[in-house]
Structure 1
Amino acid sequence: MSPSPDSLTATEAAAELGISVTTLYAYVSRGLLSSSPDAQGKHRRYDAREVRRLARRKEDGKRAGKVAQKVLDWGVPVLESSITLVADGRLLYRGRDAMELARTESLEDIAALLWECSAARIADAPPVPLGAAQWAAWLKLWGDSTPLDRALVLLPAAAAQMPRVWALGRDAQLDNACAVMRLLAAAMISAAPSNAPLHRQLASAWQVRNRQQAALLRAALVACADHELNASTFTVRCITSTGTHLFGAVAGGLAALAGPRHGGETMRIAALFEEASRAADLDRYLATRLSRDEHGAQGPVLSGFGHPLYPQGDPRARLLLELLRECAPARSPLGEVQALARAVRDTTGAEPTVDFALAAIERVLGLPVGAAFTLFAVGRVVGWIAHAMEQARDGGLIRPRARYVGES
């Protein structure tokens, strides 16, 4: 059987793109291209249309220069940043391994690292300049809302009561950053703003008294602190580039994070856990789910599995699931969670993502509904603020160009 004219060999695809075969393989590992085995299963073939589309976009980028810098999904740079690097299966915060940091450091320590200030500067930041009675009244009014809805309402409300000090100097920026970080957490857990370490605030709100489990919450916050230019972080940078104050930028990031293809995926994974726990035959259940769920370039896509930037598995999920195993209650759904991860791995080869790990923490520790998303959001606000600071220093307006493909 001859190869399809619509597919290319590795050598042909590399020639079309003007790159080496080694670079072509790197493009595949980063999710920029897909490949499939040939009829004999000995070599990989590349979709000709996909290769030529990528080649056109590369040419567009060269022609546009710095005005429109090679904007592609999953991996081609769109902005320069010195905050976070995702490469070779690792996540680095300003050059330091984020998973090593997650084992020992607090979210406030990571804020100090990403915001380039001292930990003492964050610990000693003045209390949130907002009346306690006003905040308590708002919490009472919105107490029955979800953590997300409550935060989306209370952050703008708080901003209206506070001075707009984002552009007035480094000290003012740091005070504002600390206020936003603490107000977001307070809104999501329905508590008064506090300068106490955020993992302890969450542990107290969720009645987590076990020291190892509280340390797991701390590690989860650190693991979620930043992940380069994901959708919510890019949203924050775009909003910041217009000159909007930090509260507005963070509210925009929070709205983007809530989408079911971003941090809101934790809700879908919670539903997956529930369905799988009721299935009489887990393998049959998964086969049914995979047959009707979305398919990506590499095959079936199941919520919580397979991250394009980590072909060998998400290191954040590995760490958090390891720590969860060490502190899970004696009677908990940990076995069900592990069985589901094994079954998906055996069926698809896909490894759990950080979203899966956060939803597993919520389920195994018996945390309130939505706790996984809260962990994600409270951790990620630190990265959003770091990117807002970096974007404010840059001073440019983010305004990419569109490539028109409609009727002439």
Structure 2
Amino acid sequence: MSSYMTAEQAAAELGISRATLYAYVSRGLIASAPSPNGRHNHYDAGEVRRLARRKADGKRAGKVAQKVLDWGVPVLESSITLIADGKLFYRGEDAIALARQASLEEVAALLWQCAPRRVLQAPEAPIAAAQWSAWLKIWSGHTPLERALVLLPAAAAQMPRIWAQGRDAQIDTGAMLMRLLAAALVSAAPSNEPLHRQLGEAWGVRSRAQTDLLRAALVLCADHELNASTFTVRCITSTGTHLFGAATGGLAALAGPRHGGETTRVAALFDEAARADDLHRYLADRLAPDELGAAVPLSGFGHPLYPDGDPRARLLLDLLAQRAPARSPMDEVDALAQAVAETSGARPTLDYALAAIERVLGLPRGAAFTLFAAGRVTGWIAHALEQTADGRLIRPRARYVGEMAGDLRHAAKPIA
């Protein structure tokens, strides 16, 4: 069987006109490529058949599954975070209001449903200072992410109560996890000091106002409902593993360039925009449709859950403007955001704001990701606690869209 189809064959397989086929291509639903003779485009046969199967699947379960996994309808019940009407709430509390005054530890207590002193006074991790120092020395030349991905499992092996299921034991473990992750990310000794002060000291931030900005950023990174890393944490937790294992999986998911790793792409965007002779021309080139006519997204702009703009970014950029050093690239940050708004209407996301904080305050490369990860672990712990209480294994079903042998074609019916 040929691996490619002509336009006529693809349209017939899908039961649509050629004009509709071309519209599918422009929307990115199907890819086309020049045929060997160069006179016409052809279409990947497997891709066409998969789309045809999706179209033929009229069962409600198939449609719901597609919507659930793509910024769609809720897939799990949770009482932790709500995103509605352009606002973000932690346990019913406005996250933006919390970011103006609360510490990450206080927000952790809110999310974990415990007293703040339980987080602040949790015991230290049972890891010798000399052992931790030796680990840091070995991994000193690596990125914060690489260091954390190694040191969290190493630390877990040193904890005698890591498998304890009692709530008090889990709260203690969660507090240790917060501290150890932050320490691994900035290559420092674990501390009972509030995390924003730990990060500020590690990065040489001497201004109290700028350290307070780090506090606000951590709070706004604490949770964001069922994003990819948090869903990963809940899936891992549902298998019965401990908090450190679940958080390590979440950290790996967070690092992807379409999640927390987006901050690295925004940093590169800042560098490119700063070198551009004409900012608007540069953006026009960056935002130009690709060869299939699809729009090219710009890192750090446009959040599907906040069509009127990400409130987390709005607050952080306002606070950053108030705390920016006298000689800093704050003007460049503002100019880029304004130019993008004028060109595409898209507004900054949290990733843009975190990368802007890193750039304007002159923090070490990767500090934006560190803020994201050090804050988000508090939400992961909350979701892990909630998933443990639920007790069920997360095990969705797949909707098969591959090739089918003749004898099995009629047996493989969609599950209602």
TM-score, length basis structure 1: 0.83
1:189 to partner: Cα distance: 0.6
Residues 293 and 301 in structure 1, CA contact (< 8 A), matched pair in contact too? no
Q: Distance in 2 between matches of 1:123 and 1:164?
A: 19
Aligned residue for 1:342?
338
Q: Deviations over 1:78-100 (max 9, x none)?
A: 11100000111000001111000
Are residues 55 and 392 of structure 1, via their aligned partners in 2, closer, same or farther at CA, if it must alter by over 3 Å? farther
2:252 aligned residue (250, 255, 272): 255
**Corresponding letter in the other structure for 1:130:** I
- List aligned pairs for 1:344-359, cutoff 5 A: 344-359=340-355
Are residues 112 and 273 of structure 1, via their aligned partners in 2, closer, same or farther at CA, if it must alter by over 3 Å? same
Q: Distance in 2 between matches of 1:80 and 1:57?
A: 26
Q: 3-state DSSP class of the match of 2:83? A: strand
Say whether residues 1:201 and 2:194 are aligned partners.
no
Are residues 397 and 260 of structure 1, via their aligned partners in 2, closer, same or farther at CA, if it must alter by over 3 Å? same
1:304 aligned residue (300, 306, 329): 300
Residues 62 and 399 in structure 2, CA contact (< 8 A), matched pair in contact too? no
1:314 aligned residue (304, 310, 317): 310
Residues 309 and 347 in structure 2, CA contact (< 8 A), matched pair in contact too? yes
Q: 3-state DSSP class of the match of 1:161? A: coil
Aligned residue for 2:169?
172
Q: Deviations over 1:201-226 (max 9, x none)?
A: 00000111111111100000000000
Tell me how large the CA RMSD over aligned residues is.
2.5
Say whether residues 1:60 and 2:61 are aligned partners.
yes
Aligned residue for 2:91?
94
Q: Distance in 2 between matches of 1:255 and 1:294?
A: 32
Structure 1 residues 186-195 or 69-78, which shifts more?
69-78
Say whether residues 1:364 and 2:360 are aligned partners.
yes
Q: Distance in 2 between matches of 1:190 and 1:293?
A: 41
1:69 to partner: Cα distance: 10
**Corresponding letter in the other structure for 2:208:** R
Q: Deviations over 1:270-321 (max 9, x none)?
A: 0110111011111111111112679998x43100000000000000000000
Q: Distance in 1 between matches of 2:282 and 2:395?
A: 45
The structure with the larger Rg is: 2
**Corresponding letter in the other structure for 1:353:** T
Residues 247 and 377 in structure 2, CA contact (< 8 A), matched pair in contact too? yes
Aligned residue for 1:120?
117
2:134 aligned residue (122, 134, 137): 137
Q: Distance in 2 between matches of 1:295 and 1:329?
A: 44
**Corresponding letter in the other structure for 2:210:** Q
Q: Distance in 2 between matches of 1:227 and 1:295?
A: 33
Residues 328 and 365 in structure 1, CA contact (< 8 A), matched pair in contact too? yes
1:163 to partner: Cα distance: 1.6
Residues 354 and 368 in structure 2, CA contact (< 8 A), matched pair in contact too? yes
| Count of residues in correspondence between the two structures | 360
2:186 aligned residue (176, 179, 189): 189
1:71 to partner: Cα distance: 2.8
Residues 99 and 319 in structure 1, CA contact (< 8 A), matched pair in contact too? yes
- List aligned pairs for 1:199-238, cutoff 5 A: 199-238=196-235
Q: Distance in 1 between matches of 2:105 and 2:188?
A: 18
Are residues 296 and 226 of structure 1, via their aligned partners in 2, closer, same or farther at CA, if it must alter by over 3 Å? farther
1:6 to partner: Cα distance: 5.1
1:70 to partner: Cα distance: 6.2
Q: Deviations over 1:131-165 (max 9, x none)?
A: 11100000011011100000000000111111243
- List aligned pairs for 1:353-392, cutoff 5 A: 353-392=349-388
1:324 aligned residue (297, 315, 320): 320
Q: Distance in 1 between matches of 2:172 and 2:85?
A: 36
Q: Distance in 2 between matches of 1:404 and 1:150?
A: 38
Q: Distance in 1 between matches of 2:264 and 2:282?
A: 19
Q: Deviations over 1:154-190 (max 9, x none)?
A: 0001111112434431111111001111000000010
Identity of matched residues, % = 73
Q: 3-state DSSP class of the match of 2:82? A: strand
**Corresponding letter in the other structure for 2:245:** G
Structure 1 residues 156-165 or 241-250, which shifts more?
156-165
**Corresponding letter in the other structure for 2:341:** R
Q: Distance in 1 between matches of 2:55 and 2:325?
A: 49
1:101 to partner: Cα distance: 0.3
Q: Distance in 2 between matches of 1:366 and 1:139?
A: 23
Aligned residue for 2:42?
none
**Corresponding letter in the other structure for 2:402:** G
1:242 aligned residue (225, 239, 242): 239
Q: Distance in 2 between matches of 1:5 and 1:144?
A: 55
Are residues 58 and 164 of structure 1, via their aligned partners in 2, closer, same or farther at CA, if it must alter by over 3 Å? farther
Identify unmatched segments of 5+ residues in structure 1. 8-49
Are residues 166 and 290 of structure 1, via their aligned partners in 2, closer, same or farther at CA, if it must alter by over 3 Å? same
Q: Distance in 2 between matches of 1:317 and 1:360?
A: 10
Are residues 58 and 360 of structure 1, via their aligned partners in 2, closer, same or farther at CA, if it must alter by over 3 Å? farther
Identify unmatched segments of 5+ residues in structure 2. 1-17, 22-50, 405-416
TM-score, length basis structure 2: 0.82
Q: Distance in 2 between matches of 1:356 and 1:226?
A: 17
Structure 1 residues 277-286 or 361-370, which shifts more?
277-286
Aligned residue for 1:30?
none
